[in-house]
Amino acid sequence: MIWKAVLDDGSVIPEYNQDGTYNKYQEIDKSKLASFSVFLNGNTYTVDLSDKAKKFIYVKRTMQKPGRKPVDLYILGWQKGKEQSILYITEQGEAILSGAWGKGPYCKPKFEFE
C-alpha cells in the first residue's frame, strides 16, 4: 500500500518520490488536504476533502496473533459532525463502506489469519 496526498493549492505529495526518497505522512498539513488516495492491489481509493468541515481519517489497523502472519486493515474516510463515510479496506482489496455513526461497518470485512 502506498499513498498520495493532493493539497488545496494543487501540489502533490506522493509517499515515495521518483528519486527514491519518501515523504512522511506525519508531516502533511491535514488541514490543507484536498484529497488523499491509497493504492492497494491495483485499486485506488480516494477521499475528497474539499469540504473543510470534514475530519480526515486514515489508519492502518493491525491484528497480530502470536505465531501467525499479521492482518492489516486500512481505514480511510471522513467524519463531519454525526455524518461519516469510512472505507474498511483489507489487504486482499475488499472494501466495505460504513456510514453509521458510532458503529463499525455494516458487515465486517472478512479476513483470515495465515
How many whole angstroms from its chain centre is CA 26?
A: 14
For 95, the grid coordinates are 472494501
Neighbouring-strand partners of residue 36: 5, 47
Q: Residue 56 CB, nearest distance to other proteins (Å)?
A: 10
Choose among 92, 88, 72, 79: nearest CA to 53: 79
Q: Which stretch binds other proteins (CB under 8 A): 4-12, 23-31, 43-51, 81-89?
A: 23-31
Instruction: Between 9 and 107, name the residue whose CB sits nearer to other proteins.
Output: 107
Instruction: Between 18 and 62, name the residue whose CB sits nearer to other proteins.
Output: 62
Note whether 55 binds other proteins by CB under 8 A.
no
Q: Residue 48 CB, nearest distance to other proteins (Å)?
A: 20
Note whether 26 binds other proteins by CB under 8 A.
yes
Of positions 12, 16, 48, 59, contacts other proteins by CB under 8 A: 59
Listing from the earlier edge strand, what are the strands of the sheet with 2-7?
A: 12-14, 2-7, 33-40, 43-48
Residues 6+ apart with CB under 8 A from 6: 12, 13, 33, 34, 35, 36, 37
Instruction: Between 42 and 67, name the residue whose CB sits nearer to other proteins.
Output: 67
Q: Which residues bind other proteins (CB under 8 A)?
A: 22, 24-26, 58-68, 113
